[in-house]
Amino acid sequence: MDQNRDRSPFYENVPQDVSPIRFRTSRENSPFSLHWHEHLELHYIIEGELTVRCENETVTVSKNSFLIVNSNELHEGLGGSGTRFYMLIPPTFFENKSIILKRVVKDAYLSDLAQKMICEYENQDDFTNFAMQGYAHLMLVHLCRHYVYESFDKRAWNSYSQRIVGLNKAVKYIHDNYQSDISLEELSRISNFNKYYFCNIFKSFTGESFKEYQNRIRIQKATELLCATDMSVTEIAFLCGFNDSNYFARAFKKFTDQTPRELRKNGAV
């Protein structure tokens, strides 16, 4: 991957630690912001449900099911309630192959392994990490044998990674210049894609056109100003890149289900 990833507003640099596979638990499936990383992310729902958007696909998984976020996929938590156990698996685990697994899996053998891992996690001793790494390897072998959607050799994976790098360059440019009238030509040049391909890949990874995405960033900035300053709605609209206050109001309503004045009155984001 290119070092430009570190400057992406979405990139999560997962810390390296002693254990190659990281484990976490969450008692509340609260929303988490849009991000990506090289690690494969595996969620097991213990109770309740979890709704996540992965690229342009939104899925909801429930008790005893697994949600799989593949390496380099943009994803965000949209909500849910309950308890989940999740793992982060580094890309080096798969050696020279890059595996794309199916999004949602429900499998009795995997659930049994997950329950054993959870028991170890909650009743730790000096050998817990050994046991959990062992269960995790069994789980991943089973997934790779039965639930592979697609696999890439090194050359194909490098091509896929280059698309991610190009996309993130464009996303960073939008974040840095959200107030400006950004053109498709600019983003195509920055990402090193032709215009048609850029439009397709941007929509695929974010679920929005670049103009819709830019407006979302503008509305987020406007929301912050509405809640933190006493500037007029018109001043905020122009400051955030909207040249028409009426269009700003319509766009704001579309993204927040409130008018700017309603949001300021309610004092809520």
Beta-carbon neighbour count of residue 74 at 10 Å? 21
Question: What's the pLDDT score for residue 113?
Answer: 95
Residues 99 and 173 in one domain: no
Residues 121 and 181 in one domain: no
How many domains does the chain fold into?
Answer: 2
What CATH number is given to the structural domain containing 116? 2.60.120.280
Residues 12 and 125 in one domain: yes
Q: Is 17 inside a domain boundary?
A: yes
Q: Is 105 inside a domain boundary?
A: yes
Report the largest interatomic distance among the alpha carbons of the chain, rounded to a whole angstrom. Answer: 64
- What is the domain range of residue 127? 3-152
Q: Any idea which residue has 């920055």 for tokens? A: 190
Residues 17 and 119 in one domain: yes
Instruction: Tell me the CA distances in angstroms from 159 to 23, 133, 151, one per residue in order.
Output: 30, 31, 13
pLDDT by residue for the chain (269 residues), tens only, comes to: 344 444 455 667 766 554 567 777 776 656 677 777 888 899 999 999 888 888 667 899 999 999 999 887 778 888 888 888 888 888 778 776 677 888 999 999 999 999 999 999 889 999 998 998 899 999 999 998 999 876 656 666 666 667 777 887 888 899 889 999 999 999 999 999 999 999 988 887 777 899 999 998 999 899 989 988 999 999 999 999 999 989 999 999 998 999 999 988 886 44
Last residue of a domain, one of 126, 152, 178: 152
Residues 25 and 105 in one domain: yes
Question: What's the pLDDT score for residue 80?
Answer: 80
Question: What's the pLDDT score for residue 2?
Answer: 40
Residues 121 and 169 in one domain: no
Residues 117 and 237 in one domain: no
Residues 147 and 168 in one domain: no
Q: Is 101 inside a domain boundary?
A: yes
Residues 255 and 170 in one domain: yes
Residues 94 and 10 in one domain: yes
Last residue of a domain, one of 109, 124, 152: 152
Q: Is 93 inside a domain boundary?
A: yes
Q: Is 157 inside a domain boundary?
A: no
Estimate to the nearest angstrom the gap between the alpha carbon of 233 and the chain centroid: 31
Residues 22 and 48 in one domain: yes
Residues 202 and 260 in one domain: yes
What CATH number is given to the structural domain containing 213? 1.10.10.60
Residues 252 and 192: their CA atoms lie apart, in Å, by 32
Residues 9 and 52: their CA atoms lie apart, in Å, by 19
Q: Count how many Cα atoms sit within 13 Å of the Cα of residue 54 in the half-sphere of its side chain.
A: 22
